[in-house]
């Protein structure tokens, strides 16, 4: 029984720490009383991560402005990443009827995973920006 209780605590802590470092997310979760509110916190977190990515991506586009070949390669990489992100999420949650299979936590979990993947990609965009050398 003791090991079961420990497993439950670890599961709860693991979900809470699912790669989220946003103070806004932590504050939202701390004030949530229902699963619907937790789902909204996760949705907002995914939106924040997406906004961070868009800012980094636009900054990189400005950095390489004027080189249409480099821009087209970056745009293709971005399309490929989006396909990867969506396929990865689908691989983690493969069931047809996701709500029935994964329950009411599904929207929260998928948004937290989306935020995590997006933040990893934002770091990759920063790497490209730091390493960029014009082809001209």
Burial class (CB in 10 A: 0-12, 13-18, 19+), 33: exposed
Distance (Å, whole) CA 78 – CA 19: 22
Domain definitions of the chain by residue range: 2-131
Residue 116: its pLDDT value, please?
Answer: 97
Residue 14: its pLDDT value, please?
Answer: 45
Specify the pTM: 0.81
Residue 69: its pLDDT value, please?
Answer: 77
pLDDT tens digits for 7-66? 444 444 444 444 556 899 999 999 999 999 999 999 999 999 999 999 999 999 999 887
35 neighbors 105 (Cβ within 8 angstroms): yes
Distance spanning both ends of the chain, measured CA to CA: 66
The model's confidence at residue 70, banded by pLDDT at 50, 70 and 90, is confident
The model's confidence at residue 3, banded by pLDDT at 50, 70 and 90, is low
86 neighbors 18 (Cβ within 8 angstroms): no
Residue 2: its pLDDT value, please?
Answer: 54
Residue 11: its pLDDT value, please?
Answer: 45
Residue 39: its pLDDT value, please?
Answer: 96
Q: Which CATH number fits domain 2-131: 3.40.50.300, 1.10.3720.10, 1.20.1270.180, 3.50.50.60?
A: 1.20.1270.180
pLDDT tens digits for 73-112? 999 999 999 999 999 999 999 999 999 999 999 999 999 9
Residue 25: its pLDDT value, please?
Answer: 96
């Amino acid at each position: 029984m003791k090991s079961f209780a420990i497993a439950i605590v670890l599961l709860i802590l693991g979900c809470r720490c699912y790669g989220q470092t946003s103070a806004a997310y932590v504050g939202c979760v701390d004030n949530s009383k229902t699963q619907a509110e937790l789902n909204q916190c996760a949705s907002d977190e995914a939106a924040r991560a997406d906004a961070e990515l868009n800012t980094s991506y636009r900054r990189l586009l400005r950095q390489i402005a004027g080189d249409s070949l480099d821009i087209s390669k970056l745009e293709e990489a971005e399309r490929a990443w989006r396909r990867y992100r969506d396929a990865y999420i689908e691989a983690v949650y493969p069931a047809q009827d996701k709500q029935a299979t994964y329950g009411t936590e599904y929207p929260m979990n998928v948004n937290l995973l989306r935020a995590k993947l997006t933040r990893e990609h934002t770091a990759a965009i920063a790497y490209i920006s730091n390493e960029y050398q014009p082809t001209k």
